[in-house]
């Protein structure tokens, strides 16, 4: 489903990804953990091309992008867009469109990008809103919602494009503790439904409960990976142990 | 003493403004005799307009820091007779009379015609020159040769000149008035008008040597130029009349005119001039007679509104194009957009208008005054709007673009669906400010013969002399139009605020 080979990324002189490899099956939920600045988010953002890698190969479903840099031809641009359509992204800061209602936030991309008729897109959007328990907020503007509600809408917005993979970049970090659960509940439900996901998070309990695989990132590399059992009870590396001790103490 | 009593009835505030104006005006020697003041000062201050002022008074082409012209020589001769030195005071020609009244200079010596109108506002000396009207056309144009032939035609004249009054009184002639001597000839050559009518000295200097232009028929409708003096300065007027008489008798005046190629047989009339008695009309209060003046001003306001609305539409559209080119265009386009913004913002609107209206015809692109005005205002403000848009677009958080890209939108889709709709709301206040500013700035297009609100005010004020009443009416119209615009902008901004709970 997802194969990443030798992904390399630098900002000016600083190398942030030192040749990351990763492969993931359909329906697998992967959680990335690790200290701040270790390259987790950059890795995630490379997957849907918000950051352009310098070298390496990314495959999601049937789309493969090799090498780095900005797309140079129309064909490369089309391939980049197809890769993006395979992956839905949820951001730490929600990034809902403030000038559009909740419903329009969800229907905008399907109607504009996929040319789905508005009525059809709205029916699908209402079904998604029902799923996240916000059907009564269809006409509201993002500023009228709580942070937890906004993030749930952002998840629905990404799902409306019917991606094969969902990427979550610290989806609960900007939320007050009492609002995190409603977002985590939606994510858990998605995992149970068999959605392929990659989640960057500091929520250790959540990682332990729902991840199929955990990757521990440090210094732009995957230091170790394994099942939650393995990582949480018997980490192979000293650094992993230190990190988990500090993360759980918090 | 009945006049102040009339004023105070229901006109307290007008009276107050008037008193303040009178109290603050810097009149030289208000009580003392003006001739003594001049002689004590050692200088005769004479008001004239040197801009396009040949052959009367104009910067010497060989020594541009020095003035020349037959009136310059006359002023020198006159000052010598009074035992003082002459000093010219530059003043826009159609505002010479009010400036004399304000006390900016002692006399007007600048082709001021001895007419009943002018004598309402100033005392006129005996004439120093006999002028006549001359019709000028393009060389290839078979135009009318006399006043009757001008019926139904459009004729360019100097604003507030004898020619303008003559044509307006004749009726049935469309008069296009220009702020200076040169502009009507420029428009004649550009083909915007076919006929110009000007005082003979102007025509002799500018049109005679121009191979593209010709005199159509001979000079007609002679009249006198005289020196304007404030009415209370009777001794000064007497001294000037005496000096002029001597200059005429001893042939000094003839020598000056021959030197400038302006002497003709008509000048013999100078020696035998007998002044006509002029009856004083009572002053006009345009506020009292507002039904007569308000519609004229409102007609000017229609032009002002049309100009600024069209100009702003152009500015908003062109500004957006420039902003997008500057932010997203390929490198050379980005440079060009930036250069456009810097050059347009760094040069005066007045110069840009002159370039568009008088400059473009020389390279074969002839726009009428209205189009040139809309284009000038629009392209000038486009630079400001481009900067507004740029700031607006850059104020939208990067996360918005990323979210839209992650959803699969293309660059242009992100711009149109996500960034611009948000940026537009941010720019509503500055763009509205600019619209109101342009609404007021649009008065500048009067320099390219557009008759808009401020121009109508100027024309009416110089003919009625009621600067206060008309000024209040005109300011009232401007305010009545711009205030609703700013209310509308407030409403628009509020109705677009989606980020309030």
pLDDT digits (tens, 9 = 90+) for B353-386: 999 998 888 888 888 889 999 999 999 999 999 9
Mean pLDDT across B247-265: 92
pLDDT at B345 over 70: yes
B422 near A CB under 8 A: yes
Chain segment B191-207, per-residue pLDDT in tens: 889 999 999 999 998 88
**Nearest residue to A222 via CA among A7, A69, A55:** A7
Task: Say if the Cβ atoms of B407 and A113 lie within 8 Å.
Answer: yes
- Identify which of B116, B94, B90, B93 has the alpha carbon closest to the alpha carbon of residue B105: B90
Q: What is the mean pLDDT of residues B294-315?
A: 94
Percent over 70 (pLDDT), chain B: 91
Å from A165 to nearest chain B CA? 12
**What share of chain B in percent tops pLDDT 90?**
52
Q: Identify the residue whose tokens are 């995957």.
A: A222
Which of the residues B401, B403, B412 would you substitute to probe the A interface, choosing the one with the greatest number of A C-beta atoms within 10 Å? B403
Spell out which residues of chain B touch residue A137, defining contact as CB-CB under 8 Å.
Answer: none
Point out the residue among B404, B406, B422 whose CB comes nearest to the CB of A99. B422
Per residue in B438-467, pLDDT (tens digit) is 998 899 998 888 889 998 898 888 777 788
Please list the residues that pair with A166 across neighbouring strands. A88, A197
Chain A: residues touching B (Cβ < 8 Å): 48-50, 81, 84-85, 87-89, 91, 93, 95-99, 108-109, 112-114, 141, 143-144, 154, 157-158, 161
Q: What pairing do the DSSP bridges indicate for beta strands A196-200 and A165-169?
A: parallel
- Which of A4, A36, A32 is CA-nearest to residue A20? A4
Query: Which chain A residues touch B401 with a CB distance below 8 Å?
Result: none
> Is residue B283's pLDDT more than 70?
no
Contacts B412 to A, Cβ<8 Å:
none
* Coil vs helix vs strand at A116: coil
The B residues from 399 to 418 touching A (CB cutoff 8 Å) are 399-400, 402-410, 413, 417-418
Average pLDDT for B27-46: 79
Strand-pair category, A2-11 with A213-218: unpaired
Strands A2-11, A165-169: pairing is unpaired
d(CA A141, CA A102): 6
Element (H, E) at B187: helix B183-190
Q: Mean of the pLDDT values across residues B98-122? A: 89
B406 and A88 within 8 Å at the Cβ level: the answer is: yes
Count of pairs with CB atoms under 8 A, one residue in A, one in B: 68
What is the dihedral angle through the alpha carbons of B155, B158, B162, B168, rounded to the nearest 10 degrees?
A: 40
How much is the pLDDT for B17? 55
Residue B232 reports pLDDT greater than 80: yes
pLDDT for the residue numbered B471: 92
Decide if B376 contacts B446 (C-beta within 8 A). Answer: no
Percent of chain A with pLDDT over 90: 86
In this prediction the ipTM stands at: 0.95
CB contact under 8 A, A97 and B409: no
CA atoms within 13 A on the CB side of B492: 15
Confidence at residue B372, expressed as pLDDT on a 0 to 100 scale: 93
Q: What backbone torsions phi and psi does residue B305 show, to the nearest 5 degrees? A: -65, -45
Q: Does B22 touch chain A (CB under 8 A)?
A: no
Average pLDDT over residues B154-168: 87
Tell me what pLDDT residue A176 has.
Answer: 92
Distance from CA of B393 to the nearest CA of A (A): 14
DSSP character at residue B28:
T
Residue A205 DSSP one-character state: H
- CB contact (8 A) between residue B413 and residue A112: yes
Q: Decide if A84 and B406 are in contact by the 8 Å CB cutoff.
A: yes
* C-alpha to C-alpha distance for B68 and B49, rounded to whole angstroms: 12
Contact A96, A143 (CB under 8 A): no
Residue B10: what pLDDT? Answer: 44
Across-strand partners of B107?
Answer: B46, B229
What does the pLDDT look like over B172-231, one tens digit per residue?
Answer: 898 888 888 888 998 998 888 999 999 999 999 888 889 999 999 989 888 899 999 999
Does the structure show a pLDDT above 70 at B236?
A: yes
- Neighbouring residues of B323: CB distance < 8 A, sequence distance ≥ 6: B337, B385, B386, B387, B388, B389, B390, B393
Sequence-distant (6+) residues with CB within 8 A of B65 are B59
Distance, in Å, from the CA atom of B248 to the CA atom of B130, rounded to the nearest integer, reads: 13
Q: Which two tokens stand for residue B56?
A: 């009367």
Residues B490 and B482: their CA atoms lie apart, in Å, by 13
Query: What letter would DSSP give residue A30?
Result: E
Contact B500 A81 (CB under 8 A): no
pLDDT, residue B279, reads 62
- Residue B279: name the closest of B421, B157, B117 by CA: B117
Q: What are the phi and psi torsion angles at B108 (to 5°)?
A: -105, 125
Q: What is the pLDDT of residues B4-27, one digit of tens each?
A: 333 334 445 555 555 555 545 444
Q: How much is the average pLDDT of B42-62? A: 89
Q: Choose between B408 and B287: higher pLDDT.
A: B408
Which residues on chain A are in Cβ contact (under 8 Å) with B501? Answer: 143-144
Query: What is the model's pLDDT at position B3?
Result: 34
- For B:423-442, CB contacts with A below 8 A are 425
Whether A157 and B407 lie within 8 Å, measured CB to CB = yes
Q: What is the pLDDT of residue B21?
A: 54
Closest Cβ–Cβ partner in B405, B406, B409 for A112: B409
Contact A143 B406 (CB under 8 A): no
Predicted TM-score (pTM) of the model is 0.75
Å from B328 to nearest chain A CA? Answer: 15
pLDDT at res. B168: 86
Contact A171, A183 (CB under 8 A): yes
CA dihedral B111, B116, B120, B125 (to 10 degrees): 50
Residues of chain A short of pLDDT 70, as ranges, are 250
């Amino acid at each position: 489903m997802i194969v990443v080979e030798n992904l390399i990324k630098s900002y000016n002189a600083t190398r942030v990804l030192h040749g990351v490899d990763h492969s993931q099956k359909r329906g697998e939920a992967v959680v990335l953990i690790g200290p701040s600045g270790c390259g987790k988010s950059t890795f995630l953002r490379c997957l849907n091309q918000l950051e352009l890698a310098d070298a390496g190969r990314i495959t999601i479903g049937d789309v493969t992008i090799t090498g780095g840099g900005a797309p140079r031809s129309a064909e490369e641009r089309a391939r980049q867009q197809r890769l993006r359509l395979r992956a839905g992204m949820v951001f730490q800061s929600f990034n809902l469109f403030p000038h559009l209602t909740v419903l329009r936030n969800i229907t905008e991309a399907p109607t504009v990008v996929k040319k789905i008729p508005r009525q059809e897109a709205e029916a699908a959007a209402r079904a998604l809103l029902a799923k996240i328990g916000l059907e009564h907020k269809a006409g509201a503007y993002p500023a009228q919602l709580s942070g937890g509600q906004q993030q749930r809408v952002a998840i629905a917005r990404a799902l409306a494009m019917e991606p094969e993979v969902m990427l979550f970049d610290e989806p609960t970090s900007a939320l007050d503790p009492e609002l995190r659960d409603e977002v985590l509940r939606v994510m858990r439900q998605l995992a149970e439904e068999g959605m392929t996901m990659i989640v960057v998070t500091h929520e250790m309990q959540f990682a332990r409960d729902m991840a199929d695989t955990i990757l521990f990132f440090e210094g732009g590399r995957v230091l170790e990976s394994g099942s939650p059992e393995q990582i949480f009870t018997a980490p192979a590396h000293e650094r992993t142990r230190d990190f988990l001790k500090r993360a759980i103490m918090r | 003493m009945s006049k102040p009593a009339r004023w105070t009835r229901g006109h307290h505030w007008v009276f107050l403004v008037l008193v303040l104006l009178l109290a603050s005006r810097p009149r030289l020697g208000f009580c003392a005799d003006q001739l003594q003041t001049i002689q004590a000062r050692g200088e005769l201050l004479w008001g004239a307009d040197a801009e396009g002022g040949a052959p009367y008074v104009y910067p010497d082409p060989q020594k541009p820091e020095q003035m020349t012209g037959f009136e310059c020589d006359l002023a020198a001769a006159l000052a010598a007779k009074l035992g003082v030195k002459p000093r010219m005071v530059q003043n826009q020609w159609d505002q010479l009379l009010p400036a004399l009244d304000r006390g900016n200079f002692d006399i007007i010596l600048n082709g001021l015609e001895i007419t009943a109108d002018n004598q309402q506002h100033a005392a006129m000396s005996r004439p120093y020159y006999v002028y006549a009207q001359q019709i000028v056309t393009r060389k290839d144009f078979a135009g009318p040769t006399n006043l009757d032939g001008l019926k139904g035609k459009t004729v360019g004249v100097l604003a507030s000149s004898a020619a303008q009054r003559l044509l307006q009184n004749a009726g049935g002639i469309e008069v296009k008035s220009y702020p200076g001597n040169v502009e009507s000839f420029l428009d004649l050559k550009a083909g915007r008008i076919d006929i110009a009518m000007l005082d003979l000295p102007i025509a002799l200097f500018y049109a005679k040597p121009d191979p593209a232009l010709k005199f159509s028929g001979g000079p007609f409708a002679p009249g006198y130029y005289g020196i304007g003096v404030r009415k209370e300065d009777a001794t000064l007027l007497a001294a000037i009349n005496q000096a002029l008489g001597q200059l005429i008798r001893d042939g000094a005046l003839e020598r000056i005119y021959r030197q400038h190629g302006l002497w003709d047989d008509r000048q013999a009339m100078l020696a035998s001039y007998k002044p006509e008695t002029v009856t004083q009309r009572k002053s006009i209060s345009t506020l009292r007679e507002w039904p007569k003046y308000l519609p004229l001003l409102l007609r000017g306001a229609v032009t002002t509104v049309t100009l600024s609305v069209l100009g702003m539409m152009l500015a908003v559209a062109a500004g957006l194009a420039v902003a997008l080119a500057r932010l997203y265009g390929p490198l050379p386009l980005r440079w060009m957009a930036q250069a456009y913004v810097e050059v347009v913002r760094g040069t005066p609107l007045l110069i840009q208008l002159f370039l568009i209206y008088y400059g473009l015809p020389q390279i074969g692109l002839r726009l009428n005054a209205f189009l040139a005005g809309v284009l000038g205002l629009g392209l000038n403000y486009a630079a400001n709007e481009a900067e507004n848009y740029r700031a607006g677009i850059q104020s939208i958080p990067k996360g918005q673009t990323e979210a839209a890209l992650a959803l699969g939108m293309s660059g242009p889709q992100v711009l149109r669906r996500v960034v611009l709709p948000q940026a537009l709301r941010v720019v509503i206040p500055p763009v509205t400010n600019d619209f109101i500013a342009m609404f007021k700035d649009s008065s500048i297009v009067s320099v390219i013969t557009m008759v808009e609100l401020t121009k109508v005010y100027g024309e009416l004020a110089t003919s009625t002399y009621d600067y206060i009443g008309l000024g209040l009416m005109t300011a009232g119209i401007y305010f009545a139009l711009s205030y609703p615009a700013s209310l509308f902008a407030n409403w628009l901004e509020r109705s677009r605020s989606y980020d309030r709970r």
